[in-house]
Amino acid sequence: MAEVDRTQYEADKQRLREAAEAYYNGTDLLLDDATFDALSRQLAAIEAAHPQWAAGDSATDQVAAGAAVAGDVAHTVPMLSLGNVFDPDELGDWLAGVAKRAGTEDLVFTVEPKFDGLALSARYEEGRLTRLVTRGDGYHGEDVSYAAPNIVGLPPRLTEPVAIEVRGEVMLTTAQFEAANEARMTHGDRPFINARNGAAGALRGAADRKYPIAMSFFCYDVITPETTSPEGAGAGRYVTALQRAHDLGITIGVETISGIDTYAAAEVPAAVTAIEERRGSLPFAIDGAVIKVDDYAARAKIGSSSKAPNWAIAYKYAAEEGMSKLIDIIWQVGRTGVITPRAVIEPVMVSGTTITYATLHNPDDITRKGFRMGDTVIVKRAGEVIPRLEAPVVNLRDGSETEIEFPEVCPRCGSPIDKSEARWRCSRGRQCGLAEAVTYAVSREAWDIEGLGKKQVENLVASGRVGGVDDVFTLTETDLIEFGKVAPANAPKITAEIERARTSPLARTITALGIRGTGRAMSRRIAKHFRTMDAFRAAGIPELEAVDGIGTEKSAMIVLELAELAPVIDHLSELGVSMADELDPAVAEVAAEVAPDSVDTAAGSAGAAGAGEPGAEEAGADADGAAGAAAQPLAGMKVVVTGSMVGPLADLSRNEMNELIESLGGRATGSVSKNTDLLVAGEKGGSKRAKAEQLGVRIVSEDEFAALIGRVG
């Protein structure tokens, strides 16, 4: 490695210790996870090259970098940290090293999630919880037994009157983190920066806090005389000890992901990947996977260092959080008139992507969390979620930060702002963004009216001829020429497109309406669930919540949106626009060839069962019997389509491909993630194909996909 300056090394070592103290003690945040890990690795490399510099004072060879509060409670056996690996090659090297230490390659491993919280030991006597102790320096920790009533997963009494010690992670689930910050802000306290920071703060502050904060415990270790005997003789297996703890009523971490299982060395990488694929959908934060030797006798032979066991390792995933600087806020006005703050930040790499913009949700989010212009901020990107600003890092302020200015009038049209809800909205509502709303409604994703583009729509709206999306179906050739400035030769073609669009499937009409809380994929699910517009409009919150992806908040918004759009929907119906769930002819043709029993192009079965009633869809499905259920070749699969289709599927547009996927039981999504099951890659697949290859997602060509669904010509 390049020559390193001793002074810089000492400064970086101090920087790591200060960051570790803030990290492990839950006070403030000085470095994001990725930077902390990178600095640790850098210092470890320097200390390997210059061991005399770190003699007796290494920051990388101590539990919690030597910065955690030790406390005065001695641990029964050392409570060590874990070493880290960051890629498959490093994992392979570690597995080989473990086999060498054990003197055999015939080892069995466990793979479990690495929770992002605070390590905790819980001691039981005669089945009663008697003491909670933090990890501290690995040899002594703090007594935090006062927090026990607030921790879910550690029962005050076990199912049997036994003496046992369990170790695990105390943390805040996503719901607990949000509830904690609501409570803190209600009581005038600063919100936690992130769940990891919050877990330590919630635990240590429980003694003096005047309001409770719920936390969760997930067990990952069991301490008994048998499991800690020097030779491991007769100690048995780790999975057996975990199962015993579970039977006693303690929450086991690995069971929150996949259940207790074991793997041969060759199977470990796939198990690590499987946990990562579920990361974005979990109701709590994990930052990696932990791999452990299962057999206690083998563990005793492999041994430990002063900092970490040699028989266990943490595989760290790419960080989902990073630190950046808030540069500016852009106030955007959407198609429905909603005014949304969009943060402009200094570029930062999060989850392998460079982020320059992030959402702030709404103005209230800015006020509650106390953001200021120029703040150092935490940027979070999880799964397919749009990057968002989590919190300002208040302790890094230098006095140059300024208050954020909120708009007094609509940034687009200057009209008053309706501030009655958390999401501010222009008082003109959809009329403020009418041109954008109509352009979206006639786009390929909705009614797909070819020839009626953005410029023509803007002319029609500006002239007053189009005052809503429903007015599209009242346009004549003369209107298009006079008000839309359409070339006379193109006007007949556009009116023909408008006539064709009257028979659009229900999903396309729902998309065209631009209902807040829905999008293309959600519109397809709504149409498939309710089958008719009347049934959709009649649905209340409980019925809407039955649709995949719609919760209480979103269902309440949809109910309000449908009430606001009632005149538009009524007018569309009067104009002869289809209000039933029918597939596009091209899609229906392909779907009928692949799965004839699953295609119901006229929504007839819903009508037979009583269209509009909550059980209509289920009744239709029951009538179809097992044959229809079997004819779903993509059942349960999340599928992404990229590039241009050729061959047997060349006649389908992207939206039609998505409709086909969902008609065959799949779920069409727009971006590749760890949760994607299949990427259909046409010509010029581009970045989506590259990301799929990186994540190990299955990739098929157009012809392979056609064969998969039974469309061969």
User: How many residues are listed for the chain in this entry?
Assistant: 713
Q: Which helix (H) or strand (E) holds 517?
A: none
pLDDT of residue 553: 80
Residue 175, number of CB atoms within 10 A of its CB: 12
Residue recorded with tokens 């955690």: 68
The arithmetic mean of pLDDT across residues 452-479, rounded, is 94
Order the strands of the 263-264 sheet from edge to edge: 84-85, 312-316, 286-293, 108-115, 263-264
Residue of 174, 181, 193 whose CA lies nearest to 368: 181
Backbone angles phi, psi at 684, to 5 degrees: 60, 55
Cβ of 412: how many Cβ atoms within 10 Å? 18
Range of lowest pLDDT (10-14, 189-193, 485-489): 10-14
Is 321 in contact with 33 (CB distance < 8 Å)? Answer: yes
| DSSP per-residue string spanning 616-668 | HHHHHHHHH-HHHHH--TTTT-EEEEESB--GGGTT--HHHHHHHHHHTT-EE
> How far apart, in Å, are the Cα atoms of 485 and each of 376, 388, 458, 491?
50, 41, 10, 10
Dmax (CA) of the chain: 92
Phi, then psi, of 260 in degrees rounded to 5: -75, 125
Around Cβ 359, how many Cβ atoms within 10 Å? 16
Q: Which residues are catalytic?
A: 114
Lowest mean pLDDT among 360-374, 439-453, 498-512, 666-680: 666-680
CATH architecture for segment(s) 432-574: Orthogonal Bundle (1.10)
Pull the structure tokens for residue 618: 């289920």
CA distance 693 to 175: 33
Architecture of domain 632-713: 3-Layer(aba) Sandwich (3.40)
Domain-wise residue ranges, the chain: 6-66, 73-316, 321-418, 432-574, 632-713
pTM for the complete prediction? Answer: 0.61
Q: Nearest-CA neighbor of 705 among 617, 653, 641? A: 641
- One-letter amino acid of 311: W
Report H helices in 516-580: 520-530, 533-538, 541-545, 552-564, 566-574
Q: What would the CATH number be for the domain defined by 73-316? A: 3.30.470.30
Tens of pLDDT, residue by residue over 646-673, are 777 777 777 678 778 877 778 887 778 7
For all residues of the chain together, what is the average pLDDT? Answer: 83
The model's confidence at residue 622, banded by pLDDT at 50, 70 and 90, is: very low
Q: Report, at the CATH architecture level, how domain 321-418 is classified.
A: Beta Barrel (2.40)
**Tens digits of per-residue pLDDT, 342-385?**
999 999 888 777 889 998 888 988 988 889 999 999 898 765 56
CA nearest neighbour of 64 among 12, 97, 104, 24: 24
Q: Which residues, at least 6 apart from 116, have a Cβ–Cβ distance to it below 8 Å? A: 169, 171, 195, 196, 285, 286, 287
Look at residues 602, 591, 559 and name the one whose alpha carbon lies nearest to residue 662: 591
- Assign 447 to helix, strand or coil: coil
- For position 609, what pLDDT does the model report? 31
pLDDT at 57: 66
pLDDT above 50 (res 680)? yes
User: Could you tell me how many helices (H) and strands (E) the chain has, helices first?
Assistant: 26, 23
Name 293's bridge partners: 109
